[in-house]
Chains A and B, each alone.
Chain A
Amino acid sequence: MDTIILLLSLTVMVISLLSLIVSIRAIKRVSIIIKLLEAYPRVLDRLTKIIESKKKLRRRYIVFRIVAERQVSRKELDRAIRSTVKDIIGVKGLADSSYMLVDYDEERGIGIIRSNNKAYKILIGVLGLIRVIGESRVLIVPLSTHGTIRKAREKIKSLTQH
């Protein structure tokens, strides 16, 4: 009985030692790759770009709020966003961003913009360039970004409750 326990413990020890050696080797390899990527940031940039380009196109819903001197209508807001995006990133950029004003509450100045996972950050940047609508000064504040319209509408509901 004792010999069996001894044998078992010995085999466990050998297995653990082997796994330790394998993990150390793996860590070394990973650290070498990390060092190489740190030394060549362009390679890292290119890799991230490749990964980004392979990503599937998904919808993103941006919840925003308008701070304005007077009430802004849905038509005015839509026109202002479209023209600014066209001016800054062009018609192709507007098409690629898959922009759409989904919801907009004129009284509260809260709404939802639809875009995609590749362009929504740039779209938010362009929203920052909209400072005048009609003759009133405005500021479009991005509140949050969601993957589904249901979540975006829930966010708006929570905002109104508060």
Chain B
Amino acid sequence: MMRKLVDLKIRYFNSNEFSKLLLWLKKFGYYVIAVEGLKEKPLQVKGIRILRRITIEAISEGEAKRKLRGIKQRYDIVALKPKSYGVARLAARDGRVDLIPIDEDTLRYVDLSEIRLLEKSRGAFELVLSTMYLNRYNMRFIKALQSKLMLLTRYDVPLVVTSGASNVYELWHPKHVIGLLMLYGVSEYKALDTISFTPNTIIGRE
């Protein structure tokens, strides 16, 4: 049976680009996407279910709590980008937070205590491929990312891979994702889980 593929980060640029993007996503086999920057929520377009997503950033726990208040009523998927250890821990234990993005700034917050907190809230870490593409020649980032991915796979921590695409040329085919993660030492089946099983459980949680 073919797996149901999910992309939890698509950025809305304009309607023309968005309709082209949906066409390609359908060809690639995606059936649910979460869109950032969408004003009105269309439920289903071209056979793809569309969810609303927001990424919020916070420096302090107070700021994060204030921004998270009532957010689940407006958005289906909530990602919290931590800018301090306190916010990172809050993101890991708060049930309203679905995803914690991993990039060059937040990579340092991925550690054992964060992983243990995340187990209780059933959230997931998020690897955005557009940031990975931008940092493809950043040796320090690649090294750190490889060690963190090893840590996540060793402890079976849920990881979601998203594209962060705003046009067709920024999209990622599922085979691209699998190949790229295999390059970082993640097994093929776990790589496939990051775009199918794990995001599906997050959608089921809402």
**What is the CB-to-nearest-CB distance from A64 to chain B, in angstroms, rounded to a whole number?**
10
- Other-chain contact of A125, B167, B171, B178 (Cβ < 8 Å): B178
Q: Which 10 A-B pairs have the closest CB atoms?
A: A125-B179, A128-B176, A125-B180, A137-B169, A124-B179, A121-B179, A142-B175, A124-B175, A139-B169, A122-B183
**What is the CB-to-nearest-CB distance from B152 to chain A, in angstroms, rounded to a whole number?**
14
- Binary CB contact string for chain B from 28 to 51 against chain A (1 if under 8 A, 0 otherwise): 100000000000000000000000
**What is the CB-to-nearest-CB distance from B202 to chain A, in angstroms, rounded to a whole number?**
23
A128 and B180 contact, Cβ closer than 8 Å, known pairs A121-B188, A139-B168, A139-B171:
yes
A129 and B136 contact, Cβ closer than 8 Å, known pairs A88-B183, A121-B182:
yes
For the complex, give the distance between the alpha carbons of A129 and B137 in Å. Answer: 11
For the complex, give the distance between the alpha carbons of A67 and B171 in Å. Answer: 11
For the complex, give the distance between the alpha carbons of A122 and B133 in Å. Answer: 15
**Interface SS, B side:** helix
- Other-chain contact of B176, A45, A88, A124, A138 (Cβ < 8 Å): A124
A122 and B179 contact, Cβ closer than 8 Å, known pairs A45-B187, A88-B136, A129-B133:
yes
Q: Among the interface residues B177, B179, B183, B188, which one has the most CB atoms of the partner chain A within 10 A?
A: B179
- Size of the B side of the interface (Cβ < 8 Å), in residues, is 23
B171, closest chain A residue (CB): A139
Enumerate chain B residues within 8 angstroms of A89, measured Cβ to Cβ: 183
- Is B172's beta carbon under 8 Å from chain A? yes
The interface of chain B, by Cβ under 8 A from chain A, is: 24, 28, 133, 136-137, 167-173, 175-183, 187-188
**What is the CB-to-nearest-CB distance from A34 to chain B, in angstroms, rounded to a whole number?**
16
Enumerate chain A residues within 8 angstroms of B180, measured Cβ to Cβ: 125-126, 128-129
Q: Among the interface residues B133, B167, B169, B172, which one has the most CB atoms of the partner chain A within 10 A?
A: B169
- Is A87's beta carbon under 8 Å from chain B? yes
* 21 pairs of residues in contact across A and B, judged by CB atoms under 8 Å: A67-B24, A88-B136, A88-B183, A89-B183, A121-B175, A121-B178, A121-B179, A124-B175, A124-B176, A125-B183, A126-B180, A127-B176, A128-B180, A129-B133, A129-B136, A131-B169, A137-B167, A137-B169, A138-B169, A139-B171, A141-B28
- Other-chain contact of B179, A45, A123, A131 (Cβ < 8 Å): A123
Contact (Cβ within 8 A) B136 A125 = no
- Size of the A side of the interface (Cβ < 8 Å), in residues, is 21
The interface of chain A, by Cβ under 8 A from chain B, is: 45, 67, 69, 87-89, 121-129, 131, 137-139, 141-142
**What is the CB-to-nearest-CB distance from B135 to chain A, in angstroms, rounded to a whole number?**
11
Enumerate chain B residues within 8 angstroms of A129, measured Cβ to Cβ: 133, 136, 180
Enumerate chain B residues within 8 angstroms of A88, measured Cβ to Cβ: 136, 183
Enumerate chain B residues within 8 angstroms of A124, measured Cβ to Cβ: 175-176, 178-179
Enumerate chain A residues within 8 angstroms of B183, measured Cβ to Cβ: 88-89, 122, 125-126
Contact (Cβ within 8 A) A122 B169 = no
